[in-house]
Amino acid sequence: MLSKIDNELAFVQSALNLRARRQEVLSSNIANSDTPNYKARDLDFAGALKNAMGATGGPLQLTRTESRHINASGAAGMANGQLKYRSSVQPSLDGNTVDMDVERAHFTENSLHYQFLLDRASAQFKTLGSAISDK
């Protein structure tokens, strides 16, 4: 029972961390929209989350090769995700590949997903709180 709750919270935590990281990358793209030769980057969110949660959907399990290593079972490894360069929709004379319309759309979409995850975490904590108080 507790492992299900822990897995769900670990998923939300990893997803929130990745969404926050993607927001930073998108903000950097917007901030550098006038920088010559700046290449727009983005985070492969689906791949990064799959990496962070492991192929089975649960937290990554680390292998201890030495008895003195710290046991890290239950700790979800948050992968930073692979930053990739976004291809240019409309080439720029100065080599900049930032398209402000695309960046704003991705920024807004990512913000909505982030808010959804915050609401989901809040609802889970409220559910846990009501289960504890209902004895």
pLDDT at 128 over 90: no
Give me the pLDDT at residue 110, please: 96
Instruction: Tell me how far apart the alpha carbons of residues 30 and 108 are, in angstroms, rounded to a whole number.
Output: 12
Read off the pTM: 0.70
Extract the tokens encoding 54. 């492991």
Q: Which residue has the higher pLDDT, 60 or 84?
A: 84
Instruction: Tell me how far apart the alpha carbons of residues 135 and 130 are, in angstroms, rounded to a whole number.
Output: 9
pLDDT at 105 over 50: yes
The owner of tokens 């240019």 is 88
The predicted-structure confidence for 40-50, as pLDDT tens digits, reads as follows: 999 887 777 77
